[in-house]
Amino acid sequence: MSWAGRPATEIAEAVRQGEVSAVTVVREHLDVIAKRDQAVNAFRVVREQALDEARALQDRRDLPDLPLAGVPVAVKDNLEVAGEAPRNGSRATSKVPVAHDHPAVERLRAAGAVIVGLTNVPELCLVGTGDSHFGTVRNPWNLTRTAGGSSSGGAAAVAAGMVPLALGNDGMGSLRIPAAACGVLAIKPGAGLVPPPTHPWRGLSENGPIATTAADLALTLSVLAADPGLTDAHRYGTRTEPAPRMLRSVWADEDEDYAFRAPQDLNRTSPEPFDLRVAVSPQPLPPGLPVDAEFQAAARAAADALRVAGHTALDRSRRLPVWLGPATVAAWLACAAEDADELDRTRLEPRTRALARAGRLLRSLNLDGARGRARWSDYAADKWFDTVDVLVTPTLATVPPRADRWGRRGLLRNVLVNVRYAPATGAWNMCGWPALTVPFATHSTGLPIGVQLVAPPGGEPHLLGMAAQLEASRPWPRHAPGYSA
């Protein structure tokens, strides 16, 4: 049986115990990528040198202690991987390979992960559709639909069983949107937990993992955050301090020493109970932004499942403030302008040029969303959240659009398609709060429906614990139909 398609926790345990070599694991994943990616187009670069890196990993003396030993990981093509050129979905960016890894990539490698490729994104990661000069990423659940964006290729690669984990980032939903579209999990950490992207979008964007299980998500986040207390957060809904002496190169500062605890009880599926106040908001959007009835029903069903798991679930009819939507769009366009300003505009796609022009205009009028963002993050988000611990909403408002070349179209078409199908994620970038998406239902079209969980700062353990409870209450297919191992 192939190791491709298995969870990261299972792969790492087998490599640590000597049941399989990292070379075999990586080779099998590269073979699967070669067979499946012609249809999906998840990868811009597939790194054949990953086999040499897997051989070197096998020789590491600390192999039995590595939390991600031999686990193949795909990295979003706007993050630095030594020896590769991060193209950010654009022919206007440099082709010169970088010399050093991004700090998040460094942490993955230190933990034993093997980087097998760079995944496709829309140009400059500006939109929720996965098309660019390098091709169109297609949704493994339905190849005529987009995989979402902007961590498009990462979500598609995980959903198609080409890798167990992907590293992406989220500036207005760019992890949660594609993960929901492709039926996998992703978490946008709160501000300051994980080293941010090189272009952090004024602090709106955070790096985070994509996975097929809550256990894999928690383990990878713990590595990215250099916080071993998150490793078992999916089981307990809280941080759990490890016993002393941990692998220094993975999680510890130079003057600290912890003990690595490899995930235990891999067959255990039921997380420990814990009790929080949960508010469900099937329609959190202001008037004029509808949410598909089946997506609303999925959010209600998730809240019911959490109620059965022991939480106090409350209905929340209050909608997000009307002023927050325009502020969020303005902030998005302002970031587009800043990213485009650094490049040769003549080499950018029509969509990118149009978004950047709009951003420059708003910036010149002092309407870049900064005041609305400050208002929301300083006090309005906390006031709107009230006394609840976690909010449950649909991740998307409707099924993802077709996998077209949206980059060749103008401002209005692209703004409308993004705002109509993915308007529920950006609010939580505007305040820097953690948010997670978990698959929980299937739409009548056959596409997956994701449910978004949001918590105040520091709430990542709650989100991971609840994701595991939802996973246990209604197990979902870990991969899109036809892509199982």
Closest by CA position to 406, among listed 86, 126, 37, 157: 126
With bands split at pLDDT 50, 70 and 90, how would you rate the model's confidence at 257? very low
Catalytic residue list contains 76: yes
Q: What are 2's two structure tokens?
A: 């192939």
Residue 267 has pLDDT above 60, yes or no: no
Q: Is the pLDDT of residue 164 over 80?
A: yes
The predicted pLDDT at position 253 comes to 52
- Tell me how far CA of residue 170 lies from CA of 266, 322, 472, in angstroms: 29, 23, 26
At residue 485, does pLDDT exceed 80? no
Name the band, by pLDDT with cuts 50, 70 and 90, for residue 259.
very low
What does the pLDDT look like over 360-400, one tens digit per residue? Answer: 999 999 999 999 999 999 999 999 999 999 999 999 999 99
Question: What pLDDT does 246 receive?
Answer: 47
The pTM of this model reads 0.95
Is residue 87 pLDDT above 70, yes or no?
yes
Radius of gyration of the chain (CA): 21
Contact status, residue 453 vs residue 442, Cβ threshold 8 Å: no
What pLDDT is stored for residue 132 in this prediction? 98
Per residue in 402-420, pLDDT (tens digit) is 999 999 999 999 999 999 9
How far is it, in rounded angstroms, from Cα 206 to Cα 331? Answer: 15
Length of the chain: 485
The yes-or-no verdict on residue 248 having pLDDT over 60 is no
Q: What is the 3-state secondary structure (H, E, C) of 32-92?
A: HHHHHHHHHCCEEEECCCHHHHHHHHHCCCCHHHCCCCCCEEEEECCCCCCCCCCCCCCCC
Out of 127-136, 261-270, 429-438, 459-468, least confident range: 261-270
- Residue 399 makes CB contacts below 8 A (sequence gap 6+) with 145, 292, 421, 443, 445, 447
The answer to whether residue 325 scores a pLDDT higher than 60 is: yes
Across the chain, what does the average pLDDT equal? 94
pLDDT tens, position by position, 225-243: 999 999 999 999 999 987 6
pLDDT over 90 at 290, yes or no: yes
Angle at 307 between CA 303 and CA 310, to 5 degrees: 140
Return the pLDDT at 273.
75
Residue 3 in tokens:
């190791």
- Known catalytic residue at 150: yes
Query: Is the model more confident about 266 or about 475?
Result: 475
- Per-residue confidence at 250, pLDDT binned at 50, 70, 90? low
In the residue annotation, 152 being an active-site residue is answered as no
Q: Is the pLDDT of residue 244 over 70?
A: no
Region 166-187: what's the mean pLDDT?
Answer: 98
Phi, psi of 309 (to 5 degrees): -75, -5
Q: What is the mean pLDDT of residues 139-164?
A: 98
**What percent of the chain has pLDDT above 90?**
92
Catalytic residue among 132, 150, 151, 281: 150
CA 344 to chain centre: 29
Instruction: Name the active-site residue from 174, 205, 222, 281.
Output: 174
How many Å apart are CA 63 and CA 68, to the nearest integer?
A: 9
pLDDT value for 272: 73
The whole-number pLDDT of residue 258 equals 39
- Of these residues, 76, 90, 205, 281, which one is catalytic? 76
